[in-house]
């Protein structure tokens, strides 16, 4: 049976979302097994630096994968890159699970990361571009952030369960389970088409029409089909009218008529801030933070790690019904303020270690991740996926993802070394995270215009110059979106 309408969209979301789980899974799976006897013996009792390399190299591989999709993403389509990423993750997981030394495990995690770079770069674009309804787009991309957290939480709970097992299965089973996830995603996605926006951008109008009609099968959506197609083609025509390219100098001050580079810059900075807020460090090293840095018992630390990642997942899913009731900017600004307060308290408590201080610090870490799960973790992805122009969407989002991954790698590699070698001053590592939480709110306030309640094509009108908006292509886009010169918001 051929999927149509909302069924087609949510099938595309399901296949993509399951693929997206793998980033969360890989972010959490080693965090709960790094200190187990079985893993330590298999890796020949690795040093803290070796452990940092094993853990963080996955992110570096993802960064390289994101750069590849930024360069060649438009050639092969959104769905094809996700399927290719799934295949590489399966190969990398097979190499990782058969490892008996750090070298092989590092090689396997690089390949897993490379494939995951394809997945994390293209899944939000695929989900956003398959959406016909604005509400579905916002909810669908937001849920990707929630399901990523679910992947990390699931990995930690599997790790916790394996604590009671014996032998090499303690760490090999959690690492191998990613193969099941990637295979399931492939089975769901393989029979599906690519996005209509990609087909139109590649001048495959007939294929674009077929997919768009499948997404708009209901009688009440026939008008939506015509309106959406007209808006997509008008947006492409508007982008081509000036024939502008992404220029390095525009990164600093974009004077172009379409503001494409400015939109890319905004996404780069937003995702870099997101990764620097401390979420990656907690995801990757939750058990280590509780056991080594807060001096809590091993079993308690493992249980708290699972509970911590579960808390961020629950907070994200609880937020879903309310995401379109408040603007993107308000969610992000409020989240940054609350995260700054909770992280400042964690830093203060860890600077004067004691049993009571450690317990209180653990509690405020829960506050931090709950707010993070409801705001920055998913909303930053939503915002950046909406922000980019169609012709450069793969370039903009993939480059933003690559910068995000680069910052994540830096923190996951350096933070545990800083904390360990800092001795009694290891708590100062939290200062880095606090700084980025503090600057997040003013950055959003001054540089990120609101995108809530707008189609992807209406968002284009936020940025284009008044002269370009008054051109024939601009007026066609204004008419097709129902936007007027008075209502089109300017940044």
> Tens of pLDDT along the chain (491 residues)?
567 878 899 999 999 999 999 988 887 788 677 778 888 888 888 887 888 788 888 888 998 998 899 888 888 889 999 999 999 999 999 999 999 889 999 999 999 999 999 998 899 889 988 988 777 888 888 888 788 878 877 887 888 788 778 888 888 999 999 999 999 999 999 999 999 989 998 889 999 999 988 888 764 556 667 777 887 887 777 667 655 566 666 666 766 667 778 888 898 899 999 988 988 777 777 777 777 767 777 777 777 877 887 888 889 888 888 888 888 999 999 999 999 999 999 888 888 777 788 788 888 989 999 999 899 988 888 898 888 877 777 778 888 888 888 888 887 777 777 766 655 666 777 888 899 999 999 999 999 999 888 877 788 788 877 777 777 767 777 776 666 544 444 44
d(CA 379, CA 399): 18
pLDDT at 254: 67
Q: Which residues have C-beta within 8 Å of that of residue 413, sequence separation ≥ 6?
A: 52, 53, 55, 56
Chain centre to alpha carbon of residue 23: 8
Superfamily for domain range 5-202+230-466 = MFS general substrate transporter like domains (1.20.1250.20)
- DSSP labels for 71-86? HHHHHH-HHHHHHHHH
- With contact defined as beta carbons under 8 Å apart, do 288 and 350 qualify? no
pLDDT at 126: 93
pLDDT at 485: 46
pLDDT at 47: 85
pTM: 0.77
Please report, for the chain, the start and end positions of each structural domain, with discontinuous segments joined by +. 5-202+230-466
pLDDT at 273: 93
pLDDT at 81: 95
d(CA 81, CA 427): 41
Residue 111: which H helix or E strand, with range?
A: helix 102-130
Closest residue by Cα to residue 379 from 147, 138, 127? 138
- With contact defined as beta carbons under 8 Å apart, do 227 and 480 qualify? yes
Determine if residue 4 is left, alpha or beta; phi over 0 gives left, psi from -120 to 50 gives alpha, anything else beta. beta
Per-residue DSSP letter, 293: I
* 317-328 confidence digits (pLDDT tens): 888 888 888 889
- DSSP labels for 92-104? HHHHHHT-SSHHH
- With contact defined as beta carbons under 8 Å apart, do 171 and 35 qualify? no
């Amino acid at each position: 049976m051929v999927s149509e309408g909302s069924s087609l969209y949510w099938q595309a979301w399901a296949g993509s979302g399951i693929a997206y789980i793998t980033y969360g899974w890989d972010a959490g799976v080693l965090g709960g097994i790094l200190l187990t006897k079985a893993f330590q013996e298999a890796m020949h009792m690795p040093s803290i630096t070796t452990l940092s390399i094993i853990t963080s190299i996955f992110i570096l591989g993802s960064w390289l994968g994101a750069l590849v999709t930024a360069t060649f993403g438009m050639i092969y389509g959104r769905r094809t890159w996700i399927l290719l990423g799934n295949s590489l993750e399966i190969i990398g997981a097979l190499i990782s699970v058969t490892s008996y030394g750090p070298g092989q495990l590092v090689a396997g995690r690089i390949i897993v990361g490379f494939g995951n770079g394809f997945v994390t770069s293209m899944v939000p674009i695929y989900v956003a571009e398959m959406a016909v309804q604005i509400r579905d787009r916002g909810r669908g991309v937001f849920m990707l952030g929630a399901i990523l957290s679910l992947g990390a939480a699931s990995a930690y709970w599997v790790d916790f369960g394996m604590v009671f097992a014996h032998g090499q299965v303690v760490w090999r089973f959690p690492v191998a389970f990613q193969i099941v996830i990637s295979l399931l995603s492939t089975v769901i996605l393989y029979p599906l088409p690519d996005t209509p926006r990609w087909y139109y951008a590649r001048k495959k109008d007939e294929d674009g029409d077929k997919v768009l009609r499948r997404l708009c099968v209901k009688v009440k959506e026939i008008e939506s089909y015509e309106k959406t197609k007209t808006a997509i083609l008008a947006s492409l025509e508007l982008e081509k009218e000036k024939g502008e390219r992404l220029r390095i100098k525009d990164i600093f001050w974009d004077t172009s008529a379409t503001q494409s580079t400015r939109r890319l810059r905004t996404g780069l900075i937003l995702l870099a801030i997101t990764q620097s807020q401390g979420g990656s460090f907690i995801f990757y090293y939750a058990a280590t933070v509780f056991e080594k840095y807060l001096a809590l018992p091993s079993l308690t630390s493992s249980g708290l790690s699972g509970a911590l990642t579960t808390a961020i997942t629950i907070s994200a899913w609880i937020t879903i019904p309310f995401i379109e009731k408040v603007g993107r900017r308000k969610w992000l600004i409020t989240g940054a303020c609350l995260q700054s307060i909770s992280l400042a308290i964690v830093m203060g408590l860890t600077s004067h270690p004691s049993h009571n201080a450690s317990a209180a610090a653990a509690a405020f870490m829960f506050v931090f991740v709950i707010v993070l799960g409801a705001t920055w973790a998913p909303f930053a992805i939503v915002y950046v996926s909406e922000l980019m122009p169609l012709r450069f969407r793969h370039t903009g989002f993939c480059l933003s993802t690559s910068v995000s991954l680069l910052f994540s790698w830096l923190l996951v590699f350096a933070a545990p070394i800083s904390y360990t070698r800092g001795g009694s001053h290891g708590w100062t590592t939290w200062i880095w995270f606090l700084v980025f939480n503090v600057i997040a709110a003013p950055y959003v306030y001054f540089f990120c215009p609101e995108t809530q309640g707008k189609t992807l094509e209406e968002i284009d009108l936020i940025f284009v110059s008044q002269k370009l908006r008054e051109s024939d292509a601009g007026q066609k886009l204004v008419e097709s979106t129902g936007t007027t010169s008075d209502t089109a918001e300017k940044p």
